[in-house]
Structure 1
């Protein structure tokens, strides 16, 4: 039996809905993917990047309060976050596309550029 994403510390209904839109529907799925891969899926589907949202996921998967992220650990997470943002932003299939276009492309409705 799978647990909802909202059972993970720090993650509530809004995050659960965002992950559901990209096909991540359980806490187990999210744990298996990990923060970076799951967050990248959100960005590729058109979510706007927010560093706090990113590290809230990481802290939640570690079972820690979201505001426990500080100092060098936070700096390292910022580097990972920036790398994900850069990778997604430089993808020619995504750059400059709307959330609708990204979703249609994801399910194969529009032709890749």
Structure 2
């Protein structure tokens, strides 16, 4: 049986539940995706964006304490978080965010087409 997401230091049951909702079912799956792709999936699945949650994830995947992020590194992570958050926002034309559209199409919940938002 695969190790649960919560087996990664600093990631508990609530984060694991969010991952499950986003289709991330194991610690190995989370590591394979990496922090940015995993967080994009979480946002696409409806997780509310929160910078601390993002950098805790980054630190956890690096095997570091959650509060080890400081200074220039924290500023760089903030820029990455802001970019992920912006990419997950719904386009002004009302179509689905690209990441969500791809996820839904990949999992057979939406057909790809000219109005799908998938390029």
Counterparts of 1:80 and 1:22, CA distance in 2: 20
- Paired residue for 2:96? 93
Counterparts of 1:48 and 1:112, CA distance in 2: 23
Query: What secondary structure, in the 3-state scheme, does the structure 2 residue paired with 1:3 have?
Result: coil
**RMSD over equivalenced CA pairs, Å:** 2.3
- Paired residue for 1:19? 19
CA contact (8 A) 2:22 2:44 kept: no
Matched length: 106
Gaps of 5+ in 2: none
Counterparts of 1:71 and 1:62, CA distance in 2: 17
Higher relative contact order (CA 8 A, sep 6+): 1
The answer to whether structure 1 residue 29 and structure 2 residue 29 are counterparts is yes
Q: Deviations over 1:45-64 (max 9, x none)?
A: 11110000000000000111
- The TM-score with structure 2 as length reference comes to 0.79
- Paired residue for 2:74? 74
Gaps of 5+ in 1: 95-101
- The TM-score with structure 1 as length reference comes to 0.83
Task: Name the structure with the higher helix share.
Answer: 1
* 1:90 to partner: Cα distance: 4.5
